[in-house]
Each structure stands twice: as C-alpha cells, then as structure tokens.
A and B are shown apart, each in its own frame.
Chain A
Amino acid sequence: MPSAQRPAGDPLAPSVIAGAQVVEGVVKSVHCSRGADNEEQGYTVVIDQGGHDLTFQAKSGFGVGYSDTLWWGRDHFSSCLHIEGLRAVVHYKPSSDAKYAGELARLDLRDDLPQQQPKTAEDKTAEKTSMSK
C-alpha cells in the first residue's frame, strides 16, 4: 500500500514467540491422545506445506489461536477436531527428534474468506445489462 494511503499509527506485525520459527500450511491431520483419566496426553498436527507434510509435536504447553468466524465458534472449538483443511500458522522450535519438523509453540488457525466463484456467462450478461442502464 502506498505510504500516503496507510492509516496512521504503528504498523501491525504478527507476534512471534522468542526463539521460534514460523511456517504456514494447511492442516492435514491432527492427533490427540488421551490417558486413562481422559486427560489429553499427546498432540501432533500435520500440515501440508506446498505438497510437503510437516509434522509438529507438542512436548510442552502451547497456545492455540483460532478465528472468531469458525462456524462452531468458541463454545464448541476443539484443537483436536474439525480443524483439517484450515490454514495454519505454526510457531515451532526445532525438535531433537528427526520424526518431527518441530515442537509446537503456537498454532494459529485461520478461517480464510472463500474464493469468489467464477462468473457465469449469465452473470456477465446481467452485469453488462445493469451497467448499460
């Protein structure tokens, strides 16, 4: 955006966790495991980044951010379910285990706007008609 058009104020920058790297992709799968007391005991998420699968594991606590516009909303959000297909921004720290691309520090789930449908011939005709009016 040309600087003259930018609104006043500090530029917005995504927050980054110290020492973490960031990668973006689409959530391909997620795995949560539960202990005998139904407590969550493990979490791995696989994201597709340009055709490559990257697997991240949670070894310690991590933050999960998600868009307010997800239809099931905060009341029914679960980091274990229904997140496949969402764009993910993964903040991670390098893992000592070669099986994993990294250790999850934060997982941000985005709900992107849908693509506009390609216009049909009828749409275009209708547009032309309305413009000529």
Chain B
Amino acid sequence: MNYWYLAATGEYQGVNGESPSGHYSLGSRTPGGLLLESCKMRSHRTTKNARQRGLRVSKSIFAILSIIFLASVSGTASDKEWTEVRSQHFRVITDGSEGAARRVAREFEQIRFAMSGVYPKLRMDSGAPLLVICPRDESSMKTLAPQFWKSKGFKPAGYFQHGWDKEYAVVRLDEVRPESYEVVYHEYVHSVMHLNLRWLPVWLDEGLADFHANTRFEKSRIYVGAPSWRMRVFGLRPLIPLDTLFEVTPSSPYYHDEDKADLFYAQSWLLTHYLFFGQGMESGRKLLRFINLLDETDQKKAFEQVFGEPQKVQKNLETYGRTYSMAGGWLNTPPSTDEKEFKSRKMSTAETEAELGSYHLWSRQGALARPLIEQALKDDPRLGLAHEDMAFLDFAEGKDQEALREFGQAVSLDPKLYLSLFSQTLMSPITRSDAPADQAEFERAMLKVLEQDPQFAPALVQLARLYVRQGNLEKAYEAARKAEGFEPARAGYHLLSGRILQLRGHAPEAATFAALSPRAGGALIMMRLSSSGTACLPPSAPPATHWLLQ
C-alpha cells in the first residue's frame, strides 16, 4: 500500500504568491524574525504498512485503553532510574537515551511553536500538565501498555492519553519515523484546540488535528501542512458531499464505520488543508474567520459567508485532492527549542516508580499502578507524589479514610502537590460547613491550589459553589466564568454560570448558557454488556473525552 509523505529536501518552490496573513506574519510579530512562508511541497509515494490504520487506530487505542486488563506483567518499566528532560514547556521522561528524549522535547516545542504561530491568540497550556513518557523500545513500551500486546495486530509507536488532571503522551524512542508520532500530535492538537474552543464541527476538529499532526521537523525548520498519508483514499472513492460532511457527529457512521471513517478523516484533512492553502484562502485567514463566526452563526451559514457556495468549494476541493503538488508552509525553529538548552537530571528509583505509577493510575490500570506505587513508598517514604498516587488509588477503591490520610501526607511532604490539597480539602468536612472559619479555610485552600496551577478550573468551580452558598453571586459568577474560560469544552461549566445567573434573576441570559450545555452539562459514558449476557460494567469511566467520541 502506498501513502504520501513530505520530502524534506530542497524541493520547495517558493512563495505561492499570497502574502502571509496577519496570523501568519510571524516575521513582524515574533521575536527572532521568524517567518512562515507559503511554499510548494512535493508529495512522494512510499510504502509503509502500519500507517494504513493510523489515526483510526488512535480511536480504537483509547477504546482498548478503557478496558482494564489484569495481565500479569513480567517486569516493570522502572527497571532502572529514568532520565528527565525539561524544555521550556514540556517534561519528558525516558529509560532510553537522554539525547533522544531531548529530540522528542524539541519536537513537542516545535509543534507547539508552529501552532502558536498559526494561531497567535491560542492558549497553549492546559491546567492539566502534560508528561511525555518515552519508553526506549518495544519491551519497555509493553510494560507501559500491555493491553496492546494481549492480541495480535497493531502495536502503537505512540499514543496520547487525555485527562482532566494529568495528560500523557507516550512515544517510543526507537520508532523515529515521522508518522510514528502523528497519532500523538493529532491528540495533542485536539487537546490544545479544546482548551480554546467551546465547539468545532467534527470535520474541522479532526481536520485541524490531522493538519497539524502532519507537521514535519528539522532542527532548523518546521514544515506546516505536509501531505497526509490519508490521501491514498481519494483515488478510490468519490468525496463526501460537503453538506453531509458538515453534519457528521461523533455518533455518525462516518465517524465509526471503518470504511466510511477513512474517507471522512481524509476529506476532513483535505478540506482543512484546502481552506488553509487553497487558492484565494488568504493563507488560512479565511479559516480563522470561519472559526470565529462559529460561536454566533450556524455552521452552514458561516461557511457560505466566508468561503462561498459549498457546491463550488466541493468542486475546487475535488480538483485540489487530485493534485500531486500541494502548498504548505515553513517556520524557522525558534532558539528556545535548542535541545542543548534543555535541563536534564536522573530521577531516583522512587520518583521513577511514582511517575509510572501515576501514569498507570491515570490510565485506569490500578492493578499495574499499585505495585509501582507501593514500591515507591518503600523506596522513599517521604516522596509526596507516591503518597498522592496512593491516595488516588485508595479513592478509586472506595477507601476514603485512607485516601484522605494519604492526601494529607502528600501535602505536608510537598506543598506543591495541588491535586492532593484540592482533594484533601474536598473530602474534608469543611466543604459542607457553614462556619465562617471553615469557609475561610476552604477558600484559602482553593486559592492555594490556584497559586500552584492558576489554570486548574475545578478549583474555580469549587470557589463559585462556595460563593453561592455565601450568597455572593457576583463573585460566584466571576469564578464560574473564569472556569469556563479555562475549559470551554466542559459543558457543565457553562451550565454552572447559567445557574448562577438564574439565581441572580437573569433568566434569559441563563438560558443561553443552557444551550451550550448538552447532556445536562456533563459527560455520558456507556456501560457495556459482557458477552455472556450478564451486566458488565466498566468499573469506572475511561480516561478522557475519547470515550465520548467512540
């Protein structure tokens, strides 16, 4: 099978005639004289089997991740002390070479930089810190994600695990093909987009994720808009009519059925690419206008307003999809991504165990987490993170008293562990107390959490609830709105603001918040049946939004 890849050779053919848009003109906006230019990238065919399933596989990865396997694992990934590399915005840990970890950190910095270059106003950092874990090889990867080795078939070179408290990107160091990391970048892009946008049509959400996931890196340059391997489907089937594409939702067959989804993802990427680099698209300025309009205008109307008649766009898109030469852009790598400047250190055995225990915990693989966490506590009883891990493990098992004690120990050993402080406070009686002193203590604790992680929206939600109890609706509304701003994709936060407005007597405005809050402002997970027909429920919700998208 064939797929397309970007040849990062001297085949770029210069500016395509359009002046870089305001959003792109980094030369004038960004220190360091960085420049994104539209240029031509030639596509080449090559052979690679694993990519055929690519991002579709990323969806099934998360479905699989949501199942708890109690597999016995012959070894652990913490066989030795791991190395930590810190770049300006990322933290990478590895049991492989420090140099390779530096490369991964640099590439994450580069994709982050590329996105912030394309969308200068984008908020890039989440309240949930991202840890990049780099197993050195297949055996190390297997200890982190044994579920993939339980059956034959696809073994990922990387995946991304979304979360509200912590996010993880897992990248195998011995897989250095650019497409190995595409799945990871795809999910990273989703993560960033969802920090900024309340809603995107599914085609655009996936299209943007694929568009940026195809970013290619050299030490000195970042190439944006490289051709996607998905292009292979275009010769085989006619494109989906745009009217249909616009209507695709996470529950549509186009999103689920293997055959249809292939085309859907490919066309979403193609349309996004076309709306960035197609003729007359003003190097993406129009697309950004469209995205801005989505907040207030129906998608189809907004599309027509910005791009013209969908039928005409469809025709142009068909031509664009047949081309063997596509426009793209490049950026100079900023000096801040210089690998040599990144800090590194050896982690202690206990730290390594605690970090990997955390990862398993957040992957909802308690059985894999427990031995690591217990060992971490044995190796270093004064390690706060190990106590925090143990607390969450206890909480997940319904041992609330033990959890509360462990959270307390974690905070006293390491006051920076804001998740412990947050959880300890919420589990304590002061949460429900009407005594002014208790409420003041509760408020202080939440503010302290926010000092450690100013973007940790759940603390703002709790402050809003406290202020509601105290009758200070103005302050409550302010906190709720701030939480919404940090996590616009969490419908329940919009509903919270609406409810506070309702209490303040602003019913019509409150109703508009309800409109932003499908499913009563929360998540919907599906419980499943075991094959035997007895009720079989996943013991807990899967990690992350991906479940909702299955």
Instruction: Please determine whether A37 and B527 come into contact, CB atoms closer than 8 angstroms.
Output: no
With both chains docked as a complex, state the minimum distance between the C-beta of A58 and any C-beta of chain B, in angstroms.
Answer: 4
Query: Which chain B residue has the least Cβ–Cβ distance from A39?
Result: B536
Chain B residues numbered 161-213 whose CB sits less than 8 Å from any CB in chain A: 163-166
B535 touches A34 (CB 8 A): no
A63 adjacent to B524 (CB under 8 Å):
yes
User: Would you call A51 an interface residue if the criterion is a C-beta within 8 Å of the partner chain's C-beta atoms?
Assistant: no
On whether the beta carbons of B490 and A68 are closer than 8 Å, the reply is: yes
Contact for B525 among A7, A12, A63, A89, CB less than 8 A: A63
Which segment of B39-47, B132-140, B151-159, B391-399 sits at the interface? Answer: B391-399
Interface size, chain A (Cβ < 8 Å): 55
Give complex CA distance A108, B163 in Å.
21
Q: Which residues does chain B contribute within 8 Å of A63, judged by CB atoms?
A: 524-527
Q: Which of B165, B469, B534 has the most CB of A within 10 A?
A: B534
Minimal beta-carbon separation of B463 from chain A (angstroms) = 12
Q: At the interface with chain A, which of B57-65, B265-273, B382-390, B538-546?
A: B538-546
Contact A116 B515 (CB under 8 A): no
CB–CB B537/A69 < 8 A? no
**A9 is an interface residue with CB less than 8 A from chain B:** yes
Q: Are A5 and B508 closer than 8 Å at their CB atoms? A: yes
Chain B residues with CB below 8 A from A114, complex form: 465, 468-469
Bound-state CA distance A131–B498 (Å) is: 27
> How far is it, in angstroms, between the C-alpha of A64 and the C-alpha of B548 when the chains are bound?
11
A72:B423 contact, CB within 8 angstroms: yes
* CA–CA, A83 and B169, complex, Å: 31
**Stretch of B13-21, B103-111, B499-507 that contacts chain A:** B499-507
By the criterion CB–CB under 8 Å, are B469 and A79 in contact?
no
B493 at the A interface (CB under 8 A): yes
Nearest CB in chain B to that of A9: its residue:
B515
- Are B469 and A116 in contact, with the CB atoms below 8 A? yes
Closest CB of chain A to B392's CB: distance in Å?
7
Given the complex of chains A and B, what is the CA–CA distance between A72 and B148 in angstroms? Answer: 28
- Per the bound structure, the CA–CA distance linking A66 and B541 in Å amounts to 10
**A7-B512, A81-B398 known; A32+B539 contact, CB < 8 A:** yes
Contact A41 B523 (CB under 8 A): no
Flag A40-77 by CB within 8 Å of B: 1 or 0 each.
11110000000000000111111111111111111111
* Interface contact B396-A42, CB-CB below 8 Å: no
CB of B500 within 8 A of CB of A66, answer no
Contact A40 B535 (CB under 8 A): yes
Name the A residues within 8 Å of B400 (CB-CB): 82
A5 vs B398: C-alpha distance in the bound complex, in angstroms? Answer: 46
Judged by a CB distance under 8 angstroms, whether A98 is at the interface is: no
Q: Is B146 an interface residue (CB 8 A)?
A: no
B221 at interface by CB-CB < 8 Å: no
Whether the pair B395, A72 counts as a contact (CB closer than 8 A) is yes
User: Are A113 and B535 neighbours in the complex by a CB distance under 8 Å?
Assistant: no
Shortest A65–chain B CB gap in Å is 4
| Most chain A C-beta atoms within 10 Å of own C-beta, residue among B461, B530, B540 | B540
Q: Fill in one digit per residue for B247-260: 1 if any A CB lies within 8 Å of its CB, else 0.
A: 00000000000000
Asked if B122 is an interface residue, CB under 8 A from chain A, the answer is no
Complex Cα–Cα for A114 and B500 (A): 11
Q: How far is the CA of A119 from the CA of B512 in the complex (A)?
A: 30
State how many angstroms separate the Cβ of B158 from the closest Cβ of chain A: 21
Chain A residue nearest to B68 (CB atoms) is: A38
| A110 is an interface residue with CB less than 8 A from chain B | yes
| B540 in contact with A117 (CB, 8 Å) | no
Contact B540 A78 (CB under 8 A): yes
Cβ B535 vs Cβ A60 within 8 A: yes
- Separation in Å of the B126 CB from the closest CB of chain A? 13
**Contacting residues of chain B (413-433) with chain A, CB-CB under 8 angstroms:** 422-423, 426
Q: Tell whether, in the assembled complex, residue B535 and residue A37 are in contact, meaning their CB atoms are under 8 Å apart.
A: no
Chain B residues proximal to chain A, CB less than 8 Å: 68, 70, 163-166, 362, 367, 392, 395-396, 398, 400, 422-423, 426, 434, 458, 461-462, 465, 468-471, 490-493, 495-496, 499-500, 503, 507-508, 511-512, 514-515, 519-530, 534-541, 543-545
- Known pairs A115-B469, A117-B470 / 16 extra A-B pairs, C-beta < 8 Å: A38-B70, A40-B539, A42-B534, A60-B529, A61-B526, A61-B527, A63-B525, A67-B522, A68-B491, A68-B522, A69-B521, A71-B462, A76-B540, A77-B525, A78-B396, A116-B471
Which A residues lie at the B interface, using CB under 8 A? 1, 5-7, 9, 12, 14-15, 32, 34, 37-43, 57-82, 89, 108-111, 113-117, 119, 123
> Shortest 4 CB-CB distances between A and B: which pairs?
A68-B492, A40-B537, A78-B540, A67-B522
